[in-house]
Amino acid sequence: MNQKFLFDALREATDEEMEKDKSVFVIGEDVGHYGGSYKVTKDLHSKYGDLRVLDTPIAENSFMGMAIGAAITGLRPIVEGMNMSFLLLAFNQISNNAGMLRYTSGGNFKIPLVIRGPGGVGRQLGAEHSQRLEAYFQAIPGLKIIACSTPYNAKGLLKSAIRDDNPVILFEHVLLYNLKEELPENEYFLPLDKAEFVRVGHSVTIVTYSRMRHHVIEAVNNLIKEGYDPEVIDLISLKPIDIVSIGQSLMKTHKLIIVEECMRTGGIAAEIIAQVNERYFDFLDAPIIRLSSQDIPTPYNGTLEKATVISPQQIIDSVRKLLS
């Protein structure tokens, strides 16, 4: 086992897959000589050269289109968004081309494309750099969407995503890159459609993903001292949602809290609630609690920014309220 930062885990996954398969390449702004804005591609340029680690102009729609065209020809591009907020500039390419071409071509084309990069609410990055785009892409047919939360799952998910024959969006949180964890020496892969049971419990199911996993764990550590026994599920896969694992948990706990950094209106939690109501409503003993970010542009002011995002204390209060 060896200790790695999350950005190192992503870099290792990229390096291993590039070494094994010459069709894998990286494209994006400052991914080459600079090594990526969060050092995920550090030193890969010197190892693989300009044709496999391509620095692009600041033109998301153009290099996303180029990557999709490359994927059609049989290459396996990894597109890094310097900040995932900017991928809205390539929304047409991602939705109308990446998501749909395999279907609209009658299966003649595969789109083995990975889109990855930092997103979420950081520390005073301003509204335009604090976007959570998971709900934007949720409705697009043909995409797979995953969100890493630890160095371990970051590496295993990225390796699986690179080998998948469909377009995969990997959301990384801007505040998780410096998380450190021991990683196995041997190669490993993680499924792109399974949730992770972080903690087994019996009193309430808490479903979360990305950075909020760590807020939930902080809250749960305090709740355990008070005698509560929460079950914690990290979604990992945002599309498709592993609703079966959530349902299995609800058959035991009968209560559900969803914690997300996504916006409340039309967010990932809203989709989970809809699916739970369709399939597992009879197992619920109480209304579902949804803890989401407020529906406002993220303030630049640090105090106000913090107030828009769910805190561990809010999670604690919600569990107490639900189980009182």
Residue 206 lies in a domain: yes
Residue 89 pLDDT > 80: yes
CA-based angle 169:172:174, to the nearest 5? 145
CA distances from 197 to 63, 94, 140, 191, 235 (A): 37, 31, 27, 14, 9
How far is Cα 245 from Cα 274, in angstroms, rounded to an integer? Answer: 15
Residue 50 has pLDDT above 70, yes or no: yes
- Same structural domain for residues 279 and 138? no
End-to-end CA distance of the chain: 43
Map residue 321 onto helix, strand or coil: helix
pLDDT tens for each residue of 176-200: 999 999 999 999 999 999 999 999 9
Say how far apart CA 209 and CA 217 lie, in whole Å. 11
Q: For the ranges 7-16, 59-68, 126-135, 262-271, which has the lowest average pLDDT?
A: 126-135
pLDDT digits (tens, 9 = 90+) for 115-161: 999 999 988 988 888 888 999 999 999 999 999 999 999 999 999 99
Task: Please report whether residue 286 resides in a domain.
Answer: yes
- Choosing from 153, 183, 213, the residue where a domain stops is 183
Helix 243-253, helix 268-279: angle, nearest 10: 60
Alpha-carbon distance of 119 to 132, in angstroms, equals 6
Q: Taking 70 as the threshold, does the pLDDT of residue 1 lie above it?
A: no
pTM summary value: 0.95
Distances (CA, A) of 273 to 58, 96, 154, 257, 290: 38, 28, 26, 10, 9
Cβ pair 7, 174 in contact under 8 A? no
- Give the tens place of pLDDT for each residue, 209-233: 999 999 999 999 999 999 999 999 9
**pLDDT score of 163:** 98
Helix (H, G, I), strand (E, B) or coil at 175: coil
How large a percentage of the chain has pLDDT more than 70?
Answer: 100
3-class SS at 303? helix
CATH number at residue 166: 3.40.50.970
Rounded to an integer, what distance in angstroms lies between the CA atom of residue 264 and that of residue 225? 30
- The pLDDT of residue 252 is above 80: yes
CA dist 63 and 77 (Å) reads 11
Confidence of residue 2 (pLDDT cuts 50, 70, 90): confident
Same domain, 204 and 166: no
- pLDDT, one tens digit per residue, over 276-312 is 999 999 999 999 999 999 999 999 999 999 999 999 9
Average pLDDT over the chain reads: 96
The whole domain housing 293 covers 196-323
Number of compact structural domains in the chain: 2
- Look up the CATH number of the domain holding residue 235: 3.40.50.920
Catalytic machinery residues: 60, 129
